[in-house]
């Protein structure tokens, strides 16, 4: 018996990066997994095939999490396929780093639409569809604590995520559903690598206590705890997972 046997886990943005590691790890623990993607259909299918090959159950579902109608469809399609939702990991996210003078309205709107609106309304759908004793984990970032130049909009989106994670804990609590945020430091994914020089990446490694980048599995390990029965007394919290970065 694996400890997530019989659970249904929806991980937004799980074709690549941190989301993929979470999907694979929760499937290994017995959960039926929804691998959500926006544009990487082929990669999402590969993730599903890998899970099925190891004896797990998974489906790939398209949904652009910045669109309300897609968020609703992701939930109804999950219910149609697996019958329920026990676990939601709001992982899909976008980072555009620019100094204040260069930020466009589109940069601002895209990041808020996915990181904030997408996460918030996926929580609203969870309120409607999630089983009692469910688990929600929202992805924030440890960058919030560093005040890096050029990260203002991105950090602002995650500040909103952390605050409504705290607020919503009270609304979900009556149904024994926990909701927490995980705030990784720099993690070795495409989102992190994009646009950075080798020198900048080396500099980032030196900013934590361990002298390396985080790997997606480092984040998935903490999320494994937060979606398990063992975390029933942890809610409304933000857990920084960053090797001592802040
Ligand atoms: N990497 C880091 O250093 C780091 C640090 C702190 C926090 N985080 C947070 O961790 C989360 C995952 O980051 P990551 O580094 O793994 O990112 P990533 O490598 O860029 O992967 C992003 C994932 O999100 C999906 N996605 C993108 N836009 C989407 C949309 N509109 N709707 C649904 N899915 C969408 C992508 O799927 P498609 O390929 O189909 O678009 C992909 O599977 C984000 O919330 C990020 O802010 C990352």
- 116 domain residue, yes or no: yes
Helix (H) or strand (E) holding 134: strand 130-139
**154 belongs to the catalytic site:** yes
Q: For residue 53, tell me if it sits in a domain.
A: yes
Q: Give the domain range for residue 180.
A: 8-241
From the candidates 158, 174, 205, 228, which is the catalytic residue? Answer: 158
Task: Give CA–CA dist 185/22, Å, rounded.
Answer: 16
Ligand 1: distance of its center to the CA of 95 in Å? 8
Instruction: Pick the catalytic residue from 7, 151, 154, 231.
Output: 154
If you average pLDDT over residues 44-69, what whole number do you get? 98
Annotation marks residue 129 as catalytic = no
> For all residues of the chain together, what is the average pLDDT?
98
In the chain, the percentage of residues whose pLDDT exceeds 90 is 99
Catalytic residue among 142, 170, 196, 205: 142
158 as an active site residue: the answer is yes
Confirm whether 1 is domain-assigned: no
Q: How close is the Cα of 92 to the center of ligand 1, in Å?
A: 5
Q: What is the CATH number of the domain that holds 216?
A: 3.40.50.720
pTM recorded for the entire structure: 0.99
- Residues 41-69: what's their mean pLDDT? 98
- What angle, rounded to 10 degrees, do the helices at 119-129 and 68-82 form? 40
Per-residue pLDDT reduced to its tens digit, 19-38: 999 999 999 999 999 999 99
The CA-atom distances, in angstroms, between 30 and each of 27, 108, 115, 198 are: 5, 38, 28, 38
How many domains would you assign to the chain? 1
Place of tokens 């409304």: 236
- Percent of the chain exceeding pLDDT 70 equals 100
3 within a domain of the structure (yes/no): no
- Give residue 115's pLDDT band: very low, low, confident or very high (50, 70, 90): very high
Model confidence at 172, pLDDT cuts 50, 70, 90, reads very high
Is 80 within a domain? Answer: yes
What does the pLDDT average to over 37-65? 98
Distance 1 CA to ligand 1 centre (A): 31
Nearest CA to ligand 1 atom 24: 13
* d(C-alpha 149, C-alpha 151), whole Å: 6
Within 6 A (CB) of ligand 1 lie 12-19, 36-40, 64-66, 91-95, 114, 139, 141, 184, 186-187, 189-192
Ligand 1, atom 31, residue with closest C-alpha: 64
pLDDT in tens, 193-222: 999 999 999 999 999 999 999 999 999 999
In a domain? residue 2:
no
């Amino acid at each position: 018996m694996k400890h997530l046997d019989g659970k249904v886990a929806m991980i937004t943005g799980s074709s690549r990066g941190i989301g993929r590691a979470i999907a694979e790890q929760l499937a290994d623990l017995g959960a039926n997994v929804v691998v959500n993607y926006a544009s990487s259909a082929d990669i999402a299918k590969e993730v599903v095939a890998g899970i099925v090959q190891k004896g797990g159950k998974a489906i790939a579902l398209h949904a652009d999490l910045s669109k309300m109608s897609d968020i609703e469809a992701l939930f109804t399609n999950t219910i149609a396929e697996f019958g329920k939702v026990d676990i939601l990991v709001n992982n899909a996210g976008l980072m555009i780093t620019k100094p204040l003078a260069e930020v466009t309205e589109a940069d601002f709107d895209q990041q808020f639409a996915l990181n904030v609106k997408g996460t918030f309304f996926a929580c609203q759908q969870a309120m409607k569809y999630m089983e009692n004793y469910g688990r929600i984990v929202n992805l924030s970032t440890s960058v919030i604590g560093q005040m890096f130049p050029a990260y203002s909009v991105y950090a602002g989106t995650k500040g909103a995520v952390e605050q409504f994670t705290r607020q919503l804990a009270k609304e979900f609590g009556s149904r024994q559903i926990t909701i927490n945020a995980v705030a990784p430091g720099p993690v070795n994914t495409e989102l992190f690598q994009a646009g950075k020089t080798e020198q900048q990446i080396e500099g980032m490694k030196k900013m934590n206590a361990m002298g390396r980048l985080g790997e997606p599995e480092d984040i998935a390990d903490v999320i494994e705890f937060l979606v398990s029965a063992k975390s029933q007394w942890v809610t409304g919290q933000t857990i920084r997972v960053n090797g001592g970065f802040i």
